[in-house]
Structure 1
Amino acid sequence: MERLQKVIAAAGIASRRKAETYIVEGRVEVNGEVVKELGFKVKKGDVILVDGKAIEKENKVYYVMNKPKRSMCTAQDEFHRQTVVSLIEGKERLFTVGRLDYDTSGVLLLTNDGEFANMIIHPRYHIAKTYNLTINGILDNAQIKQIQKGIVLDDGVKTLPAKIKMTEKDLKKNQMSFDLTIYEGRNRQIKRMMEALGFEVRRLHRTQLGFLRVDDLSQGQYRRLKPFEIKKLRILAEEGKLINVD
């Protein structure tokens, strides 16, 4: 048994919140009866109509994209900026699994499977995310140790220990690039970590999510996840595997 609004959302008709509005407005029927109760539950085999049309179960799809810079992780944008969803051909109602900032590129998952998405982004599972970034300065040893042990952000929350690997240091330009692996997904976390240390992020690219990379994809290109990749991601989430950060 599942809540009616969840089933409607899973069919790709509308978001769960919008589905609740449809129910309250009397636009939904179950087995020939109008249902206006938000807590109403349906079972397999029940006939559900929205505005007189029977809903069909939507096929679940899973994509990995090399998100391009200057694109939004939304289906639509009020300022008419490019969205990652618009880059994918298909009729499914897609959404991103987590978000990357407008000017951040790299590994991004898109799907219409809400349960899968929640498993991947849930904070308890600590799936590793690796970024390569360039900052306007040079980290000293004390700051590197801070990153490795965890940094207190502007909201008072301390990040989990992270891994750092230098990739380039330019003393003349007073900038450096490095790989940074984190195990959580707080809002603008990488940029806020650097801001806490007094640096500005000039470039940010997510190179890896769990085991997934997009080295073979140009920015804006995408591909369907393979069945074994979907299974492996589910295992990472279900078991809550935490890569050793000591």
Structure 2
Amino acid sequence: MKASEILILNGLGTKKQVKKLIKNRLVFLNGRVVEEDQEVEGSLYYQEQALDMHPLKYIMLHKPTGYLSANKDEYERTITDLLPYRHLSMIGRLDRETSGLMLLTNEKKLAKRLILPEYHIERTYQFTCLKPLTSDDIQSFAEGIVIDGNIKTEKVQLRLASKQSGEITLHEGKYHEIRKMFLSCHNGIKTLHRISYGGIRLDIPEGSYRELTIEEVNQLHRLVEDEED
């Protein structure tokens, strides 16, 4: 990996900005000034700050309710309050009152592709709703529901545990889509909890995080590999 790539992934700026750091002789490799952008091995420093030489991060977070899916907010708690890392891209945000699985990475190209609708990435949620679902409601989900006045959602199959709870799987991620679908059926969501994304299932306690395994990272890449360079 080149020095500029490591600097970027350590949050030190854009490609243009980090190349300026190198030009200004502020980057050191094994105690020597880095004269030009080059492949590096060993210990890399920006001034006196030791840099992470393996900076690509792939994180699973179990988001509690009450946290914003944001890097910072002046008044509200955000998911970065639960993490030691910064500068991570979120793969599918969750609203404040939705809990469950969030995936984050600083591999920006991967993060961007995993939320694009054309890849049809599977997301599964557990839900409870305010009123019992009728057979007509279930049929409406199976056919696609009109939300926001004129937008028809994809066809959705519900797996019911009871008349007011179950699982719902989507292959797209429109803003507040599940909540809007239930509202269109004159119902409402009581609780919403994401349990999987792209086949990766939540397996850690609420409020905790872990790094993804190599197998899980490879699985995410395979979901979009047809379009990758």
TM above 0.5: yes
Share of identical aligned residues, percent? 28
Q: Does 1:83 pair with 2:78?
A: yes
Q: Does 1:105 align with 2:104?
A: no
SS in 2 for 1:187: coil
Is the CA contact 2:9–2:55 (under 8 Å) kept in the aligned structure 1?
no
Structure 2 CA distance, aligned partners of 1:162 and 1:44?
50
Q: Does 1:196 align with 2:194?
A: no
Q: Deviations over 1:48-106 (max 9, x none)?
A: xxxx999x777110111111111111111121x2211121124x522322200101001
Match of 1:121 in 2: 115
Q: 1:168, CA displacement in angstroms?
A: 2.0
Residues 119, 234 of structure 1: 8 Å contact kept:
no
User: Residue 223 in 1 paired to residue 216 in 2?
Assistant: no
* Residue in structure 2 matching 1:161, options 155, 161, 165: 155
Provide the secondary structure at the position in 1 that maps to 2:192: strand
Deviations 1:109-148 (A, max 9, x none): 0121211101211111011111111111122112211111
Conservation of the 8 A alpha-carbon contact between 2:65 and 2:96: yes
Does the Cα contact within 8 Å between 2:61 and 2:101 map onto a contact in 1? yes
Question: Partner of 2:145: helix, strand, or coil?
Answer: coil
Structure-2 separation of matches of 1:99 and 1:168: 27
Other-structure match for 1:13: 12
SS in 1 for 2:151: coil
Give 5+ residue unaligned stretches, structure 2. 25-35, 40-46
Which amino acid is the alignment partner of residue 111 of structure 1?
Answer: T
TM-score, scaled to structure 2: 0.78
Distance 2:106 2:149 in 1: 32
Q: Match for residue 181 of structure 1?
A: 169
Aligned to 2:223: 236
Say if 1:205 and 1:131 are closer, same or farther in 2 by CA, change over 3 A: same
The aligned runs of 1:2-151 (5 Å cut-off) are 10-14=9-13, 28=20, 31=23, 45=38, 59-79=55-75, 81-90=76-85, 92-151=86-145
Q: Give unmatched runs, 5+ long, in structure 1.
A: 33-42, 47-51, 170-175, 241-246
Q: Post-superposition shift, 1:212?
A: 1.2
**3-state SS of the aligned residue for 1:132?**
strand
CA displacement at 1:163 relative to structure 2 = 1.7
Instruction: Please tell me the root mean square deviation across aligned C-alpha atoms, in Å.
Output: 3.1
Moved over 3 A (4+): 6-11, 27-32, 43-46
8 Å CA contact 1:119–1:238 kept in 2: the answer is: no
Q: Report the Cα distance in structure 1 between the residues aligned to 2:106 and 2:11, rounded to whole angstroms.
A: 8
Contact 1:74-1:95 within 8 A present in 2 as well: no
Confirm or deny: 8 A CA contact 1:127 1:237 kept in the other structure.
Answer: no
The answer to whether the 8 Å contact 2:89/2:111 transfers is no
Q: TM-score, normalized by length of structure 1? A: 0.73
- Following superposition, the deviation at residue 188 of structure 1 comes to 0.8
1:31: how far off?
A: 4.6
Whole-Å Cα distance in 1 between the matches of residues 128 and 58 of structure 2?
30
Counterpart of 1:173 in structure 2 is: none
